[in-house]
Structure 1
Amino acid sequence: MGRHRHRRSLTAKQALLTLAIALLLSVLAGAIELALDARKMRQEVVHQTQHRLELVDGTAAEAAFQLNPDLANQVVEGLFSGGRVASVVLRDDFGRIMAERHRAYQAPSDWLTRALFGDILHYKEALDYRAGVGSLDEPMGELELTLALDSLGRDFISRSLLIFSLGVIKALAIAALLAIAFHAYITRPLLQVHAAIVSADPRQPGRWPKPAMGGHANDELGHLVESLDELLNAFQQGLEQRDRLHQISTMDGLTGIANRRRFDDFLTQEWQRAHRCGHPLSVIFLDIDHFKEFNDHYGHVAGDDTLRAMAETLTRVVNRASDLVARYGGEEFVCVLPDTDLEGARQVADRIRQAIHDLNIPHAHSTQAGRVTASLGVASAFPADGRSDRATLLAQADSQLYRAKHQGRDRVASQT
Structure 2
Amino acid sequence: MSPPPPRPTIGGRHSLTAKQAALTLVIALLLSVIAGGIELASDARTMRQEVQSQTRHMLDLVQGTAAEAAFQLNPELAAQVADGLVDGEHVARVVIRDDFERIMAARGQAGEAAAGRLTRALFGDSLHYHRPLTYQLDRSGPADTVGEIELTLSLDSLGQAFIDRSLLIVSLGVLKALAIAALVVAAFHLVITRPLLRVHAAIAASDPQRPGQWPKPQLKGHGNDELGHLVESLDGLLKAFQHGLDQRDRFHQISTRDGLTGIANRRRFDSFLADSWQRAQRSRTPLSVILIDIDNFKDFNDHYGHVSGDDTLRAVASALTDTVTRATDLVARYGGEEFVCVLPETDLEGARRVAGRIREAILALGIPHARSAGRDRVTASLGVASAMPGEDGMTCEQLLESADRQLYHAKRQGRDRIASSHLE
TM-score normalized with structure 2 length: 0.49
Larger radius of gyration: 2
**TM-score calculated relative to the size of structure 1:** 0.50
